[in-house]
Structure 1
Amino acid sequence: MTAVPPADCTRRAVIAGAAAAACATMPAARALATPLPTRRPPLAERRFVSRAVEAQIMRVAARIGDPQLAWLFANCYPNTLDTTVEIGTVDGRDDTFVITGDIPCMWLRDSAAQVHGYLPLARRDPALRRLLRGLIGRHARCILIDPYANAFTRSATDATPLSWAKDDLTTMTPGVAERKWELDSLCHVVRLAHGYWRATRDGTPFDAQWGEAARRIVATFRAEQRKDGGSPYRFQRAAESATDTLILDGHGAPTRKVGLIHSMFRPSDDACVYPFLVPANLFAVAALRWLAELAHEVRGDAALAMQALALADEVNAALRRHALIGEGDAAIWAYEIDGYGNALFMDDANAPSLSSLALLGCVERDDATFRRTEARCWSADNPYFFTGRAGEGIGGPHVGLGMIWPMSLIVRAMSSDDDAVIRRCLQVLKTSHAGTGFMHEAFAASDPTRFTRPWFAWANALFGEMILDLAARRPGVLA
């Protein structure tokens, strides 16, 4: 088993033994009469245990006909709880810190996505509710430290421990681990908060501090429309990869200010070619509407709700005017645009992507423009669509050509109603883990034993969420 050195091997250093060693046979495996050993840490070494999650594993694994697929689910679904969470209190409030896996800092996007699959269980598990409340509160405090940062340290007084970020030319403050402005980071925060409230109707985490953070989100989105031509954000890094820094003295490529929100980096942490990242703007429209619902129904803040809805409508109208390639029944979404008429078509496996728009709630599943766009993404028209002996899937520039991200296959399976498509995705995923029992960041299309990041909790969490989705929506593909 070998790992492919990624473009930034300091950032992506493989951590030896990352959550892959365990020796006991899991109960779910015994129930399925399979000798596959669990890859979970021993019970005493797990960071957090949820009775509801353990019951869910047993219930769903027993319905999966393929023992290896059941084994992968039982390893991946609880991986975030087993290995990445730390629970405590701050100023009398619940607090939860969630690392990405092999990087000991908390990304807003990753942490929100890592726990999203546990939301349906929160109503009946008080300990899980506490964990989720703590993360919602932690997100709010992070946004109040710096709404432009994508990653944060455990303590609000710490300097970044990330070697690649220490000399970045940007406004680094204590508590910030990395300061790449990624529009989707704040959208994922809102998605989790809204999903928690819808699942539990628990208004506890939506206190005055959360309200202040929500106002900061809307204000930051407004500022990053850059209607006056300026922005307080600047970022440069001395790096070998051009995708790790911004051109034009750290301000990024020029744009015509058309009402869209600038995102200088993608959810892959790679710099945008054109700063209007279309899937992130579509995600922002959805997030602003969710935020408006929370502001109105939970906070009783009619002014904030109106501001969020007005901005959502403005961005949505700008997307319809400027972000479509082609017209009428042939129109598809661009990936990035600059407002001058220039457009980039591609897709990147990280969500939000064009392929993930339905999954994230940005469009309806049967939306014709989305389905046309998705089909183009999963074709040779996308320069980051790769095929090989191991299968086919979407990657991105982050770890190089020919590298498929399991996340892309998971997103496609969750977005599809075609059992044949879903089964193909499951087959590739099942054979891509290279004996580790976990999902990876990426694997070589020609050889799945060549992969990056053996401990990537977001991919594991999304795999578990996919199995739950299929068990409820298309149970026949798992039987």
Structure 2
Amino acid sequence: MTRREIMGSAGALAATAAVPKALAAPAFETRRPPVGQRHFTSPVVEAEIARVKARIGDAKLAWMFENCYPNTLDTTVTPGMLGGKPDTFVITGDIDAMWLRDSSAQINPYVHLTPRDASLRQLFRGVIGRQARCILIDPYANAFTRDPTASTNHDAAKHDQTEMKPGVAERKWEIDSLCYPMRLAHSYWMATRDKAPFDAEWAEAVRVSIDTFRVQQRLHAPGPYHFQRRADTPTETLMLKGYGAPTRKVGLIHSGFRPSDDACTLPFLIPSNLFAVSALRKIALVLREARGDAKLAAEAEALAAQVSAALVKYGRLRDEAGQPIWAFEVDGFGGALFMDDANVPSLCGLAYLGAVPRTDPVWRRTAARAWSANNPFFFKGKAAEGIGGPHVGLDMIWPMSLIMHALNSDDDATIRRLLVQLKASEAGTGFMHESFDKDDPTNFTRPWFAWANGLFGELMLDLAARKPHLLG
């Protein structure tokens, strides 16, 4: 099933130990799987849980942190070996496929602990290696099957009009799918200085990624990628024979789909282009330091500079006061869309990703505008206010947006309010969800969504270090 189809699936509620116990269970009873059923256990992660939990005075927040932070390791990773090298498959939670984006984001909360645990480093090497092999199967795919020789097990993808290869679960071209593995590689390298995962196969995947970005600038031709799907939902397919809306070729990278897996309205997705600039610069550092590959590093930096210049020229709008802000999508002809989607990279998530400085005034204005009625996907209700997106529908707030807003904020009152809303959003389950109704948190989608759980864990780590007085 696709991410969209999984929402509300009754089967997903009972399919795995990761799914919460009945809501009638005693308050604050752990919702983690029994130790013997956990997919991966790290003593340093367990120590981190104990350390941070001890700093959280609010009993419910502490309970949610203990449930959410290890959820990826407890339930979604499958470590192994392939050809004498580590191989780690990471599912999203309730979908048995590996998204390049989600898998990177899911294990990111543990990267700072890798220097202290050899088995955790082995797990990361396996994810980095598996991602490289996935990219070499098809750099345009967003999700991959557990068996790299298998056909897709996603019903909606079986009849897509695109080039589906063995090992591909879904083939929606999204810029961020190639950015996230670059970010993960950089984070791991900076934490460990471990050269082991950065072998020739990995370097070839980086080269293919850079080449794919360059092709999708479409400066001289549309490139090989096109995608059409027969679906009732327009955001599941691309117009004009699967190539998307027309653009002026200005140096920005085309994206067929957003991080939500919804089709772009205009093909130049600005948050993802900003992420690409940052990711290319980060991967250039890894190429130089871990491999001594100055040539490919220079190619990455040259592409980053070109896209960055195009972003400044074509990616900005003016607000009512005449001040510059980032657009969400543009077409290079002057057409622009302002909105924000909760999925990261979003406009609100750019500082979290390191794509812009946290103090950058253009981004600050942009994020403030996105967190307002100027964003058609900003919803305010009885239970919470926050950002959603077309993927789930109107009036559904994503906890991911609340977490990003808290990470962005320095205001104690704002963060306290967001923590209250996040506590309500778990709806008795002990976990984060994909989305919940602005008026009724018990109406939610995806009970097992590891990316959101990990982000909540990151927020608790951030606040424990930055604002511990807000944790009760």
Task: Report the equivalent of 1:30.
Answer: none
Give the letter for the 1:345 counterpart: F
Per-residue CA shift, 1:305-336, capped at 9, x if unaligned? 11000000000000000011028971100000
Alpha-carbon shift at residue 11 of structure 1 (Å) = 6.6
Alpha-carbon shift at residue 22 of structure 1 (Å) = 5.8
Alpha-carbon shift at residue 92 of structure 1 (Å) = 0.4
The structure 2 residue matched to 1:400, chosen from 393, 405, 415, is 393
Counterpart mapping for 1:111-150 below 5 A: 111-150=103-142
Counterpart mapping for 1:73-152 below 5 A: 73-152=65-144
Taking the aligned partners of 1:12 and 1:177, their CA distance within structure 2 comes to: 21
Alpha-carbon shift at residue 474 of structure 1 (Å) = 1.5
The structure 2 residue matched to 1:59, chosen from 51, 57, 60, is 51
Alpha-carbon shift at residue 222 of structure 1 (Å) = 0.3
The structure 1 residue matched to 2:468, chosen from 449, 471, 475, is 475
Give the letter for the 1:427 counterpart: V
Alpha-carbon shift at residue 349 of structure 1 (Å) = 0.1
The worse-fitting range, judged by mean Cα deviation, of 327-336 and 463-472 is 327-336
Taking the aligned partners of 1:57 and 1:465, their CA distance within structure 2 comes to: 11
The worse-fitting range, judged by mean Cα deviation, of 142-151 and 468-477 is 468-477
The structure 1 residue matched to 2:345, chosen from 338, 347, 352, is 352
Aligned length: 465
Per-residue CA shift, 1:221-249, capped at 9, x if unaligned? 00000001311001000011000000001
Task: Report the equivalent of 1:268.
Answer: 260
Taking the aligned partners of 1:11 and 1:390, their CA distance within structure 2 comes to: 21
Alpha-carbon shift at residue 20 of structure 1 (Å) = 3.0
Taking the aligned partners of 2:369 and 2:7, their CA distance within structure 1 comes to: 32
Query: Contact (CA 8 Å) 2:214, 2:253: kept in 1 or not?
Result: yes
Alpha-carbon shift at residue 8 of structure 1 (Å) = 3.9
Taking the aligned partners of 1:322 and 1:12, their CA distance within structure 2 comes to: 39
Task: Report the equivalent of 1:339.
Answer: 332
Counterpart mapping for 1:277-426 below 5 A: 277-326=269-318, 330-426=323-419
Give the letter for the 1:371 counterpart: R
The structure 2 residue matched to 1:186, chosen from 178, 192, 197, is 178
Taking the aligned partners of 1:130 and 1:9, their CA distance within structure 2 comes to: 33
Task: Report the equivalent of 1:458.
Answer: 451
Taking the aligned partners of 2:400 and 2:27, their CA distance within structure 1 comes to: 27
Task: Report the equivalent of 1:13.
Answer: 9
Give the letter for the 2:19 counterpart: A
Q: Secondary structure of the residue that 1:87 maps to in structure 2?
A: strand
Task: Report the equivalent of 1:3.
Answer: none
Taking the aligned partners of 1:126 and 1:343, their CA distance within structure 2 comes to: 48
Alpha-carbon shift at residue 476 of structure 1 (Å) = 1.6
Alpha-carbon shift at residue 13 of structure 1 (Å) = 2.8
Taking the aligned partners of 2:382 and 2:318, their CA distance within structure 1 comes to: 34
Taking the aligned partners of 2:113 and 2:3, their CA distance within structure 1 comes to: 38
Q: Secondary structure of the residue that 2:404 maps to in structure 1?
A: helix
Query: Contact (CA 8 Å) 2:7, 2:446: kept in 1 or not?
Result: no
Taking the aligned partners of 1:233 and 1:440, their CA distance within structure 2 comes to: 32
Give the letter for the 1:13 counterpart: S
Give the letter for the 2:143 counterpart: A
Query: Contact (CA 8 Å) 1:102, 1:455: kept in 2 or not?
Result: yes
Give the letter for the 1:139 counterpart: Q
The structure 2 residue matched to 1:233, chosen from 225, 228, 231, is 225
Taking the aligned partners of 1:459 and 1:11, their CA distance within structure 2 comes to: 15
Per-residue CA shift, 1:177-235, capped at 9, x if unaligned? 00000000110110001000001111110000011011011100000000013110010
Q: Secondary structure of the residue that 2:120 maps to in structure 1?
A: helix
Per-residue CA shift, 1:4-28, capped at 9, x if unaligned? xx994357634023413469xxxxx
Deviating beyond 2 angstroms after TM superposition, the runs of 4 or more aligned structure 1 residues are: 6-14, 20-23
Taking the aligned partners of 2:437 and 2:111, their CA distance within structure 1 comes to: 33
1:431 is the counterpart of 2:428: no
The structure 1 residue matched to 2:35, chosen from 43, 55, 58, is 43
Alpha-carbon shift at residue 425 of structure 1 (Å) = 1.1
Per-residue CA shift, 1:423-461, capped at 9, x if unaligned? 111110001111000000000001100000000010001
Give the letter for the 2:466 counterpart: R
Task: Report the equivalent of 2:438.
Answer: 445
Give the letter for the 1:290 counterpart: K
User: For residues 89 and 345 of structure 1, do their structure 2 counterparts lie closer, same or farther at Cα, with a shift above 3 Å needed?
Assistant: same
Alpha-carbon shift at residue 155 of structure 1 (Å) = 1.2
Taking the aligned partners of 1:137 and 1:99, their CA distance within structure 2 comes to: 15
Query: Contact (CA 8 Å) 1:432, 1:448: kept in 2 or not?
Result: yes
Q: Secondary structure of the residue that 1:306 maps to in structure 2?
A: helix
Q: Secondary structure of the residue that 2:444 maps to in structure 1?
A: strand
Per-residue CA shift, 1:454-475, capped at 9, x if unaligned? 0001000110011111111121
Query: Contact (CA 8 Å) 1:158, 1:174: kept in 2 or not?
Result: yes
1:167 is the counterpart of 2:126: no
Q: Secondary structure of the residue that 2:350 maps to in structure 1?
A: coil
Query: Contact (CA 8 Å) 1:7, 1:400: kept in 2 or not?
Result: no
Query: Contact (CA 8 Å) 1:86, 1:97: kept in 2 or not?
Result: yes
CA RMSD of aligned residues (A): 1.6
Task: Report the equivalent of 1:212.
Answer: 204
Query: Contact (CA 8 Å) 2:253, 2:268: kept in 1 or not?
Result: yes
Alpha-carbon shift at residue 35 of structure 1 (Å) = 5.5
Taking the aligned partners of 2:268 and 2:367, their CA distance within structure 1 comes to: 19
Overall identity of the aligned pairs, in %: 62
Q: Secondary structure of the residue that 1:158 maps to in structure 2?
A: coil
Task: Report the equivalent of 2:248.
Answer: 256
